Structure 1
Amino acid sequence: MTARLFNRVRSTLQPTDHPYLNGAWSPVFEEWTDDDCPVVGEIPRDLDGVYLRNTENPVHEPLGKYHPFDGDGMLCAMRFRSGRASFRNRFIRTRGFISEQEAGRALWSGIAEVPPKSERPGWGAQGSLKDSSSTDVCVHGGRALTSFYQCGELYATDPVTLDQYGAVGWGGEFPREGVSAHCMPDAATGELLWFNYSREAPFMRCGAVSRSGDPLEAVDVALPGPRLPHAMEFTERFYILNDFPLFWDAELMTRNIFAARLHDLPSRFALVPRRGRAGGIRWFEASPTYVLHWTNAREEGDEVILDGYRQQHPMPPPLHGAPKKYAQLMAYVDLQSLKPQLWRWRFNLRTGQTHEECLDDTVCEFGTINPRAHNRANRYVYSTTGEPGWFLSDGLVKHDLLTGKRETVPFGPGVFGSETPFIQRAGTQTEDDGWLVTYVSDMNRNVSECWIYAAQNLAVGPIAKVRMPLRIPSGTHACWADASELH
Structure 2
Amino acid sequence: MVSLSAVPDYESSIVSSVAGKVFYGAESIVNWAMGKSRSRESNPYLAGNYSPVEQERFDEELLVEGELPADLSGCFLRIGSNPKMRPMGGYHWFDGDGMVHACRVKNGRVFYANRWVKTARFKKEQAVGWDTHLKIGDMVGAGGLLALAFSKLKGLAGLTVGGEGRGTANTAMVFHAGRLLALHEGDMPYALRVACEGIVETAGRLVYQGQRSFTAHPKVDPATGDMHFFGYSVESAPYCTYGVAGPDGALKKQIPITVPKPVMMHDFAVTEAHAIFIDTPLVFDPSVMVREGTLPFAFDEGHGIRFGLRRHDAPEGEEAVQWFSSPPCMIFHVANAWDDGEKVHLVACAMRTLDLSVLSTKRAMTEDMKPFLTRFVFDTRTGETVVTRLSDCAAEFPQIKQSLVGRKCRYAFAARYHESPKGDAGFDGICKFDLDASGPRDGHDACSGAICFGEGRYGGEAIFVPKGSPKSEDDGYLLTYVYDEGRNKSDFVVFDAKTMSSEPIAKVQLPCRVPYGFHGLFMDEDDMKKQAGQS
Instruction: For residue 285 of structure 1, report the CA deviation from its aligned partner.
Output: 1.0
Conserved 8 A contact 2:121-2:161: no
2:123 counterpart (98, 101, 104): 98
* Residue 291 of structure 1, CA deviation: 0.3
Contact conserved, 1:51 with 1:437, CA < 8 A, in 2? yes
How far off its partner does 1:253 sit? 7.8
Q: CA deviation at 1:64?
A: 1.5
Unmatched 5+ stretches in structure 2 = 1-23, 25-36, 438-445, 531-535
What are the within-5 Å matches in structure 2 for residues 412-423 of structure 1?
A: 412-423=454-465
Local SS of the residue matching 1:163? strand
Which amino acid is the alignment partner of residue 203 of structure 1? Y
Q: Does 1:343 align with 2:378?
A: no
Give the 3 Å change call, closer, same or farther, for CA 390–253 of structure 1 in structure 2.
closer
Q: Percent identity?
A: 31
State how far apart, in whole Å, the 1-side matches of 2:387 and 2:64 are: 45
137, 150, 156: which one pairs with 1:112?
137
Contact residue 299 and residue 353 of structure 2 kept, 8 A: no
Map of 1:188 onto structure 2: 223
1:315 maps to: 355
- Listed one character per residue, the Cα deviations across residues 61-112 of structure 1 (whole Å, up to 9, x for unaligned) are 2131111111110011112222222222100000110011111111023212
Is the partner of 2:56 in helix, strand or coil? Answer: strand
Matched AA of 2:44: P
Alignment correspondent of 2:12: none
Q: CA deviation at 1:123?
A: 8.7
TM, length-normalised to structure 1: 0.87
Residue of 42, 50, 55 corresponding to 2:80: 55
Tell me if the contact between 1:245 and 1:265 (Cα under 8 Å) persists in the aligned partners: yes
Q: Structure 1 stretch 352-361 or stretch 262-271: which is displaced more?
A: 262-271
Tell me what 1:372 maps to: 403
Q: CA deviation at 1:373?
A: 2.9
Q: Quick check: 2:391–2:447 contact (8 Å CA) kept in 1?
A: no
Q: In the alignment, residue 78 of structure 1 is paired with which amino acid?
A: C
- Cα distance, 1:376 vs structure 2: 2.7
The answer to whether residue 296 in structure 2 is matched with residue 261 in structure 1 is no
**1 CA distance for matches of 2:337 and 2:51?**
36
Offset from partner CA, 1:137-164 (integer Å, 9 cap, x none):
1111222211113x20200101343122
Question: For residues 332 and 363 of structure 2, what CA distance do their matches in structure 1 show?
Answer: 12
3-state SS, counterpart of residue 97 of structure 1: helix
* Contact 1:331/1:338 (8 A) holds in 2: no
Match of 2:200 among 162, 187, 207: 162
Q: 1:347 to 1:56 in 2, by over 3 A?
A: same
Shift of 1:392: 3.2
Q: Is the 8 A contact 2:222 2:405 kept in 1?
A: no
Structure 1 regions of 5+ residues with no counterpart?
A: 1-11, 319-326
* Greater alpha carbon shift after TM alignment, 280-289 vs 367-376: 367-376
Residue 45 of structure 2 aligns to which amino acid in structure 1?
Answer: Y
Q: CA deviation at 1:413?
A: 2.3
**Which of 127, 137, 154 is 2:173 aligned to?**
137
- Separation (CA, whole Å) in 1 of partners of 2:222 and 2:385: 28
User: How many pairs does the alignment contain?
Assistant: 460
Alignment of 1:8-407 (within 5 A): 16-114=41-139, 115=144, 116=147, 117-118=150-151, 120-121=154-155, 130-149=166-185, 151-159=186-194, 160-170=198-208, 173=209, 175=211, 177-198=212-233, 199-249=235-285, 251-252=287-288, 258-274=296-312, 280-315=320-355, 329-330=360-361, 334=365, 338-388=369-419, 390=424, 392-402=426-436, 404-407=446-449
Hey, what does 1:477 align to over in structure 2?
A: 519
- Whole-Å separation in 2 of the counterparts to 1:328 and 1:135: 15
Larger Rg: 2
Q: TM-score, length-normalised on structure 2?
A: 0.80
Verify the 8 A CA contact 1:335 1:390 in the aligned structure 2: no
Alpha-carbon shift at residue 374 of structure 1 (Å): 2.6
Deviation at 1:363, TM superposition (A): 0.9
Amino acid at match of 1:396: I
Q: Structure 1 residues 469, 142: CA separation in 2 closer, same or farther (over 3 Å shift)?
A: farther
The structural deviation recorded for 1:186 is 2.0
Aligned CA-pair RMSD:
2.8
SS in 1 for 2:501: helix
